[in-house]
Amino acid sequence: MRTAPRQLHLGAFLFGVGHHVAAWRHPDVDPSAALRLQHYQQLARIAEAGLFDAIFSADTMGLPGSSADLLSRNAPPHQFEPLALLAALAGVTERIGLVGTVSTTYLPPYHLARKLASLDHLSAGRAGWNLVTSGSDHEARIFGLEQQLAHAQRYERAREYVDVVKGLWDSFEDDALLLDQQAGRYFDPAKLHRLDHQGRHYRVQGALQSQRPPQGYPVMVQAGSSEDGQELAAATAELVFTAHQSVEDARAFYRSLKDRLPAQGRSPDALKILPGVSPVVGRTQAEAQEKYDRLQALIDPAVGLGLLSSFVGGFDFSAYPLDGPVPELPPTEGWQSRQALFLNLARRENLTLRQLYQRVATARGHWTVVGTPQSIADELEHWFTTGAADGFNIMAPTLPYDLQDFVALVIPELQRRGLFRTAYQGRTLREHLGLPRPAHPAQFRASGRPQTAPAVPAPATA
Amino acid sequence: MRTAPRQLHLGAFLFGVGHHVAAWRHPDVDPSAALRLQHYQQLARIAEAGLFDAIFSADTMGLPGSSADLLSRNAPPHQFEPLALLAALAGVTERIGLVGTVSTTYLPPYHLARKLASLDHLSAGRAGWNLVTSGSDHEARIFGLEQQLAHAQRYERAREYVDVVKGLWDSFEDDALLLDQQAGRYFDPAKLHRLDHQGRHYRVQGALQSQRPPQGYPVMVQAGSSEDGQELAAATAELVFTAHQSVEDARAFYRSLKDRLPAQGRSPDALKILPGVSPVVGRTQAEAQEKYDRLQALIDPAVGLGLLSSFVGGFDFSAYPLDGPVPELPPTEGWQSRQALFLNLARRENLTLRQLYQRVATARGHWTVVGTPQSIADELEHWFTTGAADGFNIMAPTLPYDLQDFVALVIPELQRRGLFRTAYQGRTLREHLGLPRPAHPAQFRASGRPQTAPAVPAPATA
- Verify cis geometry, omega within 30 degrees of 0, for the bond prior to A331: no
The CATH code of the domain at B9-280+367-446 is 3.20.20.30
Of A37, A61, A181, which has the smallest distance from its Cβ to B122's Cβ? A37
Is pLDDT above 80 for A450? Answer: no
Query: Any long-range contacts for B311-314 (C-beta under 8 Å, 24+ apart)?
Result: B311/B335, B311/B338, B311/B339, B311/B342, B311/B360, B311/B364, B311/B365, B312/B338, B312/B339, B312/B342, B312/B343, B313/B339, B314/B65, B314/B136, B314/B137
Inform me whether the C-beta atom of residue A262 falls under 8 Å from chain B C-beta atoms.
no
**Residue-wise pLDDT tens digits, A160-191:** 999 999 999 999 999 999 999 999 999 999 99
**Residue-wise pLDDT tens digits, A396-434:** 999 999 999 999 999 999 999 999 999 999 999 999 999
Residue B429 pLDDT grade (very low, low, confident, very high; cuts 50, 70, 90) = very high
Report CB contact under 8 Å: B208, A110.
no
- What is the pLDDT at residue B71? 94
- What is the pLDDT at residue B93? 97
Report CB contact under 8 Å: B206, A138.
yes
Residue A44 pLDDT grade (very low, low, confident, very high; cuts 50, 70, 90) = very high
Q: For residues B87-92, give the mean pLDDT.
A: 96
In order of A114, A136, B113, the CA distances from A109 in angstroms are 8, 20, 19
A360 contact partners, CB below 8 Å, separation of at least 6: A304, A307, A308, A311, A342
User: Chain B residue with minimal CA distance to A40?
Assistant: B122
Residue B458 pLDDT grade (very low, low, confident, very high; cuts 50, 70, 90) = very low
Residue B457 pLDDT grade (very low, low, confident, very high; cuts 50, 70, 90) = very low
Estimate the crossing angle of helix A353-363 against helix A336-349, to 10 degrees.
Answer: 130
ipTM above 0.90, yes or no: yes
Q: For residues A288-297, give the mean pLDDT.
A: 96
Q: Which of B81, B90, B71, B26 is nearest to B294 (CA)?
A: B26
- What is the pLDDT at residue A6? 94
Inform me whether the C-beta atom of residue A35 falls under 8 Å from chain B C-beta atoms.
yes
With beta carbons under 8 A apart, name residues in chain A contacting B79.
209-210
Residue B24 pLDDT grade (very low, low, confident, very high; cuts 50, 70, 90) = very high
* Closest Cα in chain A, distance from residue B194 (Å): 9
- What is the pLDDT at residue B454? 35
Q: For residues A430-458, give the mean pLDDT.
A: 71
* Closest Cα in chain B, distance from residue A152 (Å): 23
What proportion of chain B, given as a percentage, has pLDDT over 90?
75
**Residue-wise pLDDT tens digits, B164-180:** 999 999 999 999 999 99
- CA-based torsion, A134, A135, A136, A141: positive or negative: positive
- Choose, out of A101, A123, A142, A298, the residue to mutate when testing the contact with B (most B CBs < 10 Å): A142
The CATH code of the domain at A9-284+366-446 is 3.20.20.30
Q: For residues B185-197, give the mean pLDDT.
A: 97
Report CB contact under 8 Å: B69, A189.
yes
Q: For residues B190-213, give the mean pLDDT.
A: 97
Burial profile A203-230: b = 16 or more Cβ within 10 angstroms, e = fewer: bbbbbbbbbbbbbbbbbbbbbbbbebbb
Of A73, A107, A114, which has the smallest distance from its Cβ to B185's Cβ? A73
User: Chain A residue with minimal CA distance to B85?
Assistant: A87
**Chain B, window 166-195: residues with a beta carbon less than 8 angstroms from a chain A beta carbon:** 171-172, 177-179, 181-182, 184-190, 192, 194
Is pLDDT above 80 for A448? Answer: no
With beta carbons under 8 A apart, name residues in chain B contacting A126.
none
Q: For residues B441-454, give the mean pLDDT.
A: 60
**Residue-wise pLDDT tens digits, B378-402:** 999 999 999 999 999 999 999 999 9
Report CB contact under 8 Å: B85, A118.
yes
With beta carbons under 8 A apart, name residues in chain A contacting B141.
204-206
User: Chain B residue with minimal CA distance to A109?
Assistant: B143
Report CB contact under 8 Å: B78, A210.
yes
Report CB contact under 8 Å: B210, A78.
yes
Of B84, B141, B185, which has the smallest distance from its Cβ to A119's Cβ? B84
User: Chain A residue with minimal CA distance to B74?
Assistant: A186
Residue B108 pLDDT grade (very low, low, confident, very high; cuts 50, 70, 90) = very high
Of B62, B84, B91, which has the smallest distance from its Cβ to A206's Cβ? B62
- What is the pLDDT at residue B195? 97
**Chain A, window 307-366: residues with a beta carbon less than 8 angstroms from a chain B beta carbon:** none
Is pLDDT above 90 for B11? Answer: yes
B119 contact partners, CB below 8 Å, separation of at least 6: A84, B83, B86, B87, B90, B98, B100, B127, B218
What is the distance between the alpha carbons of residues A76 and A416, in angstroms, rounded to a whole number? Answer: 37
- What is the pLDDT at residue A328? 84
Inform me whether the C-beta atom of residue B302 falls under 8 Å from chain A C-beta atoms.
no
CA angle (A308 as vertex; A305, A313 as ends), nearest 5? 125
Report CB contact under 8 Å: B31, A188.
no
Of A62, A87, A181, which has the smallest distance from its Cβ to B208's Cβ? A62
- What is the pLDDT at residue A346? 87
CA angle (A229 as vertex; A202, A104 as ends), nearest 5? 35
Is pLDDT above 50 for B453? Answer: no
Q: For residues B337-345, give the mean pLDDT.
A: 80
Interface size between A and B, measured as CB pairs under 8 A: 251
Of A27, A91, A194, which has the smallest distance from its Cβ to B88's Cβ? A91
Inform me whether the C-beta atom of residue A297 falls under 8 Å from chain B C-beta atoms.
no
Task: Delimit the domains of chain B by residue range.
Answer: 9-280+367-446
Q: For residues B153-163, give the mean pLDDT.
A: 93
**Residue-wise pLDDT tens digits, B246-277:** 999 999 999 999 999 999 999 999 999 999 99
Residue B460 pLDDT grade (very low, low, confident, very high; cuts 50, 70, 90) = very low
Of B62, B110, B121, which has the smallest distance from its Cβ to A61's Cβ? B110
Inform me whether the C-beta atom of residue A37 falls under 8 Å from chain B C-beta atoms.
yes
Q: For residues A457-462, give the mean pLDDT.
A: 37
CA angle (A397 as vertex; A395, A402 as ends), nearest 5? 90
* Closest Cα in chain A, distance from residue B193 (Å): 9
- What is the pLDDT at residue B234? 96
With beta carbons under 8 A apart, name residues in chain B contacting A190.
68
Q: For residues A380-391, give the mean pLDDT.
A: 98
Residue B461 pLDDT grade (very low, low, confident, very high; cuts 50, 70, 90) = very low
* Closest Cα in chain A, distance from residue B62 (Å): 5
> How many Cα atoms occupy the beta-carbon half-sphere of A119 within 13 Å?
33
Residue A329 pLDDT grade (very low, low, confident, very high; cuts 50, 70, 90) = confident
Of A31, A80, A303, which has the smallest distance from its Cβ to B179's Cβ? A31
B2 vs A56, residue with greater confidence: A56
- What is the pLDDT at residue B2? 54
Report CB contact under 8 Å: B67, A300.
no
Report CB contact under 8 Å: B63, A171.
yes
Torsion, CA B107, CA B113, CA B118, CA B123, rounded to 10 = 110
Report CB contact under 8 Å: B79, A185.
no
Report CB contact under 8 Å: A77, B41.
no
What proportion of chain A, given as a percentage, has pLDDT over 90?
75
Q: What pTM, to 2 d.p., does this model score?
A: 0.93
With beta carbons under 8 A apart, name residues in chain A contacting B188.
72
Going through B199-271 in order, the beta strands assigned E by DSSP cover: 203-206, 219-222, 239-242
